[in-house]
Amino acid sequence: MKIFSEELVAQVAQELHITDIERASIGEVLLIAQTLEQRTGIPFIRMDQGSPGLPANMIGRAAEKEAIDKGVGQHYPAAAGIPELKNATEKFIKAFMNLDIPAKCCLPTTGSVAASFGSFIICTQLDPKKRKVLFIDPGFPIQKTQLRVIGAEWEEFDIHDWRGAALEDRLEAIMKGGEIAAIVYSNPNNPAWICLEESELEIIGRMATKYDAIVLEDLAYFCMDYRRDLSHPYEAPYPPTVARYTDNYILMLSSSKIFSYAGQRAAMACMSPKLFDRTYPTLAERYHDAGHFGTTFIANVMYMITSGVTHSTQFGYAAMYEAAVRGELNFVEDTREYQIRAARMLEIFKRHGFTMPYDADPTMGPVEGGFFFTVGYPGLKGGELMKELLYYGVSSISLSTTGSDQQGIRGCTSRMREEQYAMLDERMAEFNKDHN
C-alpha cells in the first residue's frame, strides 16, 4: 500500500511549481521529499542528493580552526593557491596515483563544480573549431547546465553499450568531425558506480591525443571502488586514470566525498604538466597575456570567478592530504561505510524484484555500488519508477536526467541510517506486491 497518496504528491509538486515529476531534478525531488515529510511527519528514505553522510574529517577541521586562529582570514589567498596545499596535492597524487604532477600544476578551486566550470570555459576557447564538450554518460547533470551558462554545446552518449574495445568506435565516430574540445566523465561513475578500466582509459587518452581534446577526469569518488584495496600510499594497486595515456588532461580531485568535506567547497584541478606549459595564440589574443595555458587558467579564468578558495579551508585540506600521504588518515576505510550500505540496500531491492541497470565492468566484474548505485524495476521507465517510489516514501533521481538510456533510478547511500533498513525492506515489499 502507498504511504503518500498520488493526490498529495501531485498537490505538493504543484505547490512547488514542478510541472513534471518524472523529469524532476535533484533539487526538485529533494524539495518534494522534504515537503511531504514536514506535512505528514512520515520520514522519507532520502536517496536523492549526494551529500556526505559521515562527519567532516577531524584533521581538516582542526587544521582549519588553527588557520583561523592564526589570522589567515584577513589575507586574500594566493591566486594559485597556498603552497602548503599545492605541495600536499603533488605528494597525494604521487602516493595514491603514482603520477608526477608538480605542485605548480595543482590549483585549488571552490569545489569540483568550479573546476569543471572553469575548465569548460578555457577548453572551449582554445580553438574556434572546437566548441563542444563530449560527455561519456551517465553523468552529473550540473555539468550540462554549466555549458548552458557559458553558451557551449555538447555531445553525449551512454557508455552502457560501449564498454571495452567498443568504446573506440563510438569515440571515433563522434570525434572525427574535429569539434570536440573536451571529454568529461567521472570515475568511479556518478550515478552508475561503474568504473572505467585501464583499457578504456587508454582508448580515451589515445583519442584525446589524436584529436587534441582535453580530458576532464572527475575523481570525486577517488579510490572508492572498494573491490580492490587502494588505501596504501606509495603502494600498488593504484586507481586507473587517463593521465597514464595522454598529456591532455585535467584531473578534478575533491574533498567533498573522500573527506566528507562538501560543505567547505574545496577541490583541486590538476593539470598535465605538458598541457600546463602549452601556449595558445587564441588565449593570448583573448586575455592579452602570453597565452600560456596554466597561467591563463589560474590568473585570467579561475581568479576571475572567485579570486581564490577560502583561506582557512585550504589549510584544512592540505592537512588532510598530508595525513593521508603519511598513512595517518585512511580515507578509503573511512568511507567504506558507503559500500556496506550499498550492499545492504541492493540486497533489499533485489529481493523485492529490482534489477541493476549497470551491473558489471568488463574485467573487474560485478558493480557493487558505493556512494551511489542504480536499480530498475521491470516494466517501469526511469521517471515512472522514481515517481512511483515517492508514493512509498523513497526519493531518488531518474537515470534519464543523467544522460543514461537505461530505465532506472540512482540511489544514494549517504543518508541511510541503521533504523531505515527495516523500513526500506517493508516499503519495497509493499511496492513489489502492488506492482507484481
Interaction site with a copy of itself (CB under 8 A): 17, 27, 49, 51-52, 54-56, 60-61, 64-65, 68-69, 71-77, 79, 110-111, 113-114, 117, 121, 142, 145-146, 148-151, 256, 260-265, 286-287, 290, 299-301, 303-313
Q: Residue 56 or residue 208: which is nearer to a copy of itself going by CB?
A: 56
Contact between 294 and 118 under an 8 Å Cβ cutoff? The reply is no
For residue 86, the minimal CB distance to a copy of itself (Å) is 17
Q: Residue 55 or residue 236: which is nearer to a copy of itself going by CB?
A: 55
Beta carbons within 10 angstroms of residue 49's beta carbon: 15
Q: Residue 121 or residue 167: which is nearer to a copy of itself going by CB?
A: 121
Q: Residue 38 or residue 74: which is nearer to a copy of itself going by CB?
A: 74
Q: Residue 64 or residue 217: which is nearer to a copy of itself going by CB?
A: 64
| Separation of alpha carbons 245 and 236, rounded Å | 18
| Separation of alpha carbons 265 and 278, rounded Å | 29
Backbone angles phi, psi at 404, to 5 degrees: -90, 145
Q: Residue 59 or residue 242: which is nearer to a copy of itself going by CB?
A: 59
For residue 33, the minimal CB distance to a copy of itself (Å) is 15
Q: Residue 150 or residue 173: which is nearer to a copy of itself going by CB?
A: 150
For residue 423, the minimal CB distance to a copy of itself (Å) is 22
Beta bridge partners of 252: 218, 269
For residue 119, the minimal CB distance to a copy of itself (Å) is 13
